[in-house]
């Protein structure tokens, strides 16, 4: 007789029990970080039903199937309410793929190595920031791979997300703004740069960029198209202190001047037609303590685009489109069953004029990445949804491969959806091989600081 060790509903009861106790302890069968530390594979931490969409749905869905309005109710509990609405009512389709259990294919390798190497080194200090136990700034990797509460989840995300888990990144991006039907009203091309000043694992000197230990990172962007925006650039210098908003600057080639960007601009669209605010750009999006009333409101599996989304085989890297009235509103997205995650809710306590009442961020327990956030209006209704698409990219014949990249690497940012539930508008973003102006993508390039991350740099770029 075959004995079923984990009967029907066992994992659901496990997660409900954890939630009831207020406990965050990643891993169901064994502590997750211990399992990952052995060989990089997370399989031993979970029963089969959390590692396979086919097992989870008892054979009703399997890798290779496509979620449509006809079958999406089978996994309604695995999707956020906006994604469910998109599939059910707006003709979006989502391809299901097998769950990836090799965590080295779900996060940047230097970041994962630093996470394991520095385990137990970091703590939340009396000021609420992350410090090593001898009082120094973060030295790299996920400081809380076995996070015990919502604050630790948000802090590790705030340290890493805008540099996309590398010491530096440049993303040659294109953005399409569509109306509710999916018709494109505006397109933009720009390069986004993130440069880490502490917690460095690859760029020398490490772990700190001398003279910048009081900063967390520097972000920069430069528009290259359309012509009337070309040369407009911006610079954000983020304090290490998670109570302080970044110092934001913008350069206009028309006035030849740099101006300071006011804090309230975090809740405004940056360009005509956009369906998102600056505050939507990551799991926290803003310094952690400009939000508050943190709590974990969900614990268990969910669907997310955490791998399978490499688009380097498509001409000019432009992903096929689906859904909307015209059939061209959403990227064709590949999602896996994430075996365990947390949903963290936070409220904009530092923004009296915020249009949001709260934000929810979904965290993948295996990596700490937040591939999905949903914000809610003042009445508590869904407002903006943000999705990030990832993959472990492997070079294949016929691909237009990113210049200067190794033949295999974890792609920290491939495409994004930013969706406005009120208007039905969509902002789609994705990286291209090269954008107007000749800019390309890069990872861990030390030259990015001098080329993009100073006031002189954005003034020079905008000429």
Give me 270's structure tokens.
């940056």
Tally of CB atoms within 10 A around 21 = 9
Per residue, the 3-state secondary structure of 118-146, as one string, reads CCCCEEECCCCCEEECCCCECCCCCCCCC
Fill in the DSSP letter of residue 280.
G
DSSP 325: T
Distances (CA, A) of 244 to 122, 212, 248, 290, 311: 21, 16, 12, 8, 37
Closest by CA position to 160, among listed 188, 175, 178, 139: 139
CA distance 90 to 70: 12
In this predicted structure, what is the pLDDT of residue 23?
66
Residue 440, classified by CB atoms within 10 Å of its CB into exposed (0-12), middle (13-18) or buried (19+), is middle
In DSSP notation, 25-82 reads ---SSS-HHHHHHHHSB-GGGS-GGGT-HHHHTTTSS-TT-EE-TTTGGGGGGGS-HH
The pLDDT of residue 92 is 98
The DSSP-derived string for 428-449 is EEEE-S--TTS---EES-TTHH
Sign, CA dihedral 373-271-263-412, equals positive
Rounded to two decimals, what is the model's pTM? 0.94
State both tokens at 255.
């006035």
Record the tokens describing residue 303, joined without a space.
Answer: 């669907």
> Where exactly are the structural domains of the chain?
157-461
Distance CA 374, CA 277 (A): 12
CA angle 249, 387, 112 (to 5 degrees): 85
Q: Per residue in 369-402, pLDDT tens?
A: 999 999 999 999 999 999 999 999 999 999 999 9
Alpha carbons within 13 angstroms on the beta-carbon side of residue 81 total: 12
Collapsing DSSP states into helix, strand and coil, what is residue 195? strand
CATH match of 157-461 with 1.10.287.70: no
Q: What is the pLDDT of residue 192?
A: 96
Tokens 């009967």 locate to 7
Task: Record the tokens describing residue 302, joined without a space.
Answer: 């969910």
Q: How far apart are CA 164 and CA 440, in angstroms?
A: 16
pLDDT at 25: 75
pLDDT lower than 70: segments of the chain: 1-10, 16-17, 19-23, 283-284, 463
Cross-strand partners of 393: 409
Residue 197 Cα to chain centre, angstroms:
20
User: Contact at 8 Å (CB) between 301 and 50?
Assistant: yes
């Amino acid at each position: 007789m075959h004995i079923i060790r984990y009967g029907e509903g066992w994992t659901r009861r496990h997660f409900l029990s954890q939630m009831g106790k207020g406990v965050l302890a990643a891993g169901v069968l064994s502590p997750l970080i211990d399992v990952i530390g052995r060989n990089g594979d997370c399989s031993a931490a979970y029963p089969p039903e959390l590692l396979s969409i086919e097992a989870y749905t008892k054979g009703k869905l399997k890798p290779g199937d496509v979620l449509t309005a006809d079958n999406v109710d089978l996994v309604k509990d695995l999707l956020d309410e906006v994604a469910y609405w998109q599939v059910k009512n707006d003709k979006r389709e989502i391809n299901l793929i097998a769950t990836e259990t090799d965590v080295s294919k779900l996060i940047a390798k230097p970041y994962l190595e630093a996470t394991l190497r520095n385990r137990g080194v970091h703590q939340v200090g009396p000021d609420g920031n992350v410090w090593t136990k001898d009082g120094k700034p973060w030295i790299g990797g996920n400081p809380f791979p076995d996070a015990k509460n919502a604050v630790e989840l948000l802090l590790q995300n705030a340290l890493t997300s805008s540099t996309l888990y590398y010491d530096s990144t440049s993303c040659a991006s294109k953005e399409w703004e569509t109306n509710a039907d999916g018709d494109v009203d505006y397109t933009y091309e720009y390069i986004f740069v993130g440069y880490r000043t502490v917690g460095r694992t690859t760029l020398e000197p490490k772990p700190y960029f001398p003279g910048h230990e009081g900063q967390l990172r520097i972000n920069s962007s430069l528009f290259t198209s359309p012509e009337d925006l070309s040369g407009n650039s911006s610079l954000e210098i983020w304090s290490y202190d998670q109570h302080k908003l970044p110092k934001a600057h913008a350069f206009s080639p028309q006035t030849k001047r740099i101006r300071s960007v006011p804090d309230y601009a975090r809740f405004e669209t940056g360009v005509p037609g956009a369906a998102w605010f600056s505050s939507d750009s990551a799991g926290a999006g803003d310094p952690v303590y400009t939000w508050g009333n943190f709590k974990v409101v969900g614990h268990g599996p969910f669907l997310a685009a955490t791998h399978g989304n490499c688009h380097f085989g498509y001409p000019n890297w432009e992903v096929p489109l689906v859904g909307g009235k015209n059939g061209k509103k959403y990227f064709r997205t590949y999602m896996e069953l994430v075996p365990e995650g947390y949903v963290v809710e936070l409220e904009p306590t530092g923004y009296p004029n915020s249009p949001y009442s709260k934000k929810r961020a979904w965290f993948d327990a295996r990596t700490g990445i937040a591939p999905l956030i949903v914000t809610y209006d003042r009445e508590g209704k869904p407002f903006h949804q943000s999705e990030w698409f990832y993959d472990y990219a492997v070079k294949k014949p016929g691909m237009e491969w990113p210049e200067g990249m190794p033949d295999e690497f974890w792609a920290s940012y491939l495409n994004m959806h930013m969706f406005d539930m009120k208007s039905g508008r969509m902002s789609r973003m994705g990286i291209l091989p090269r954008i107007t102006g000749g800019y390309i993508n890069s990872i861990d390039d030390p030259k990015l600081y001098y080329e993009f991350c100073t006031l002189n740099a954005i003034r020079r770029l905008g000429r």
